[in-house]
Chains A and B, each alone.
Chain A
Amino acid sequence: MSAPLKNMLVNILTWALVLIFFFPVFWMFINGFKPESVASSINPKVLFTPVTDGYQLAMDRGMAGYLQNSLTASVTATIISVVIAIPAAYALSIRRVKAVEGALSFFISTRFMPLAAVVLPLFMILKTVGLLDNIYMLAIVYGAVNLPVTVWMMRSFFLEVPYEIIEAARVDGAGLYREIVRIVLPLVLPGIAAAALISFIFAWNEYFLSLLLTSSAARTTPPFLGSFVDGRGQFLAVLSAAATIAALPVIIAGWVAQKQLVRGLSMGAIK
């Protein structure tokens, strides 16, 4: 077989596999615009007149409130973990504290701690103090879950700041606060954005803690999605529409920030 032909066949195979892998997402998107009866037909229909009934129905069932909660929890959690992680990451990189390894493994072991191991006491304590089903409390817990990754990731960006710049700032008599806020932060802004993105993605998609620590007022989108499953009638169109709305913010954020994604997922180990 000639090389160009072989090359073309591999190209076709690659695209075929990619499309198969992407198909469930495509199908979710398409089904959301079908009338309910078309979405639930035994033989799948590709040609149909798109309707927004599914989206309408999802909104009528109060989805906006859950999205609002998800947004509040994700944004608050992201701010909390980024603000607390900046000084920590700074200490672990630029100031090179003695116990770097100890501190780093403390952070990472916390990341590896199964949520199942901490959720019971959290539930009991929050129940006692009346903070169950509180969206800001959920955000604080998310912030803690995110913090180790945020610290590790930011540290990897902080390490790239040339030491001469910091030294020059110190010679000029810049204090600690000035050194961090005016000199270092502008240089590591992409890193902070990447860490914030990873925090946001986690909090937006999180299911387990939301299911257990919220019930109605503070419930976020992931556990709410299951309520579109209807034991009697057809529901695939409305479920697909709701799932599309729920998944879209993170899909778009991930698409836009593809380059930062790897670094975030590997906690800064891979650049």
Chain B
Amino acid sequence: MTTTSTKSSHTNLDEVAARTATDVRRVQRKQVWTNRGLLLPAVIFLVLLTQIPFIVTIGYSTMKWNLLYPNDRGFSGLDNYRSALTSGELWPSVVATVLITALAVVLSLLFGLLFAVLLDRKLPGRAIARTLMITPFLVMPAAAALIWKFSMFDTNIGMINWLLRTLGLDTVSWSTNYPLATVVIVLTWQFTPFMMLILLAGLQGQSKEILEAASVDGAGPWRTFTWITLPHLRMYIEIGVLLGTVIILQVFDPIAILTKGTGGTKTLAYLLYERAFIGLDVGQAAAYGVVTVILTIIVATIALKTLFKVFMAGGSR
């Protein structure tokens, strides 16, 4: 008798448990759909405006299609990629893109680190100094490129050449003789504040106790910097480098304004613009677009991994 009742109560409990489980599952299923509903607008919007156009770009890249000859249009397989590889334009463009990006990222990182360290110290008027320092990053890139081109680099009225003349040196025709340097200088100027802000956040997050302990133990400022600060900054340096790289890889404005792609500054973005909107060769330009994406994916994959690491480690802080 007792056994049966226990048994039946067991069954009841099991039934209840089963029913609750179905309820939970039903609620969960409902929640899953609500969650999807919340995400859906963003996903649809992005698919429509970026994913689908990219697939269309891949399609274009397999077509013979020049807007000058609208009737001579058709499938051409990998011809655009073949001619991209053989025309001798693609490789210099990849080199220009990588070179400009690497130089600008490394230089702005070094300057950014310098300014971050200097502006992390106690300094009279520090808030003003920081405010002035972030300004180059805020200036509209097109405006910055124009101002640099005419009021800094210009052979006659540019301030850099005025300085060189004043020092008794020869003036330099910057955009003609050093096109790559002009682009890199302007980019470095714009991205130094970007790096500085990220590194400054890192410096401010340093534990004061550890720094004090290091100085009590007799470590000099240089030792403290290389042994404690730099390792601590590693994560911030990674974020700065990766985000900076992905942004600068796409650089267009300073090239369009300063050099128009001359002298080894024809980045992939500018090459595509030239092929599509001046050469009107849609198929060829699309092939360059796809190459740009492949190059970016290589960099971005590394960037993503690091970002995720940072996020998942410190996401709930």
Interface residues of A (CB under 8 A from B): 10-11, 13-15, 17-19, 21-25, 27-28, 31, 39-44, 84-85, 87-88, 90-92, 95, 97-98, 101, 103-110, 112-125, 140-141, 143-145, 147-148, 151, 156, 159, 176, 201, 204-205, 207-208, 211-212, 221-223, 225-226, 228-229, 235-236, 239-240, 243, 246-247, 250-251, 253-255, 258, 261-262, 265-271
Contact = CB atoms under 8 A, between A and B. Distances in A.
A251 B124 contact: no
Given A151-B42, A251-B138, A114 B147 contact: no
A95 B132 contact: no
Contacts of A225: 140, 142-143, 146
A168 B273 CA distance: 55
Interface of B is mostly: helix
A35 to B, nearest CB: 14
A115 B250 contact: yes
A120 B252 contact: no
A270 B156 CA distance: 44
Given A22-B132, A87-B41, A207 B273 contact: no
Given A21-B136, A90-B38, A106-B43, A120 B276 contact: yes
A110 B46 CA distance: 8
Contacts of A265: 194, 197-198, 243
B57 interface: yes
Given A11-B124, A24-B189, A236-B151, A270 B198 contact: yes
Given A223-B142, A269-B310, A236 B289 contact: no
B103 interface: no
A184 B272 CA distance: 44
B197 A118 contact: no
Contacts of B142: 205, 207, 222-223, 225-226, 246
Nearest to B131: A255
B303 interface: yes
Contact of A176 (B34, B50, B137, B236): B34
B129 A15 contact: yes
Interface in B60-76: 60
A28 B147 contact: yes
Nearest to B51: A110
A243 B257 CA distance: 14
Contacts of B79: none
A191 B187 CA distance: 29
A88 B40 CA distance: 8
Interface in B10-50: 31-32, 34-39, 41-43, 45-46, 48-50
B183 to A, nearest CB: 15
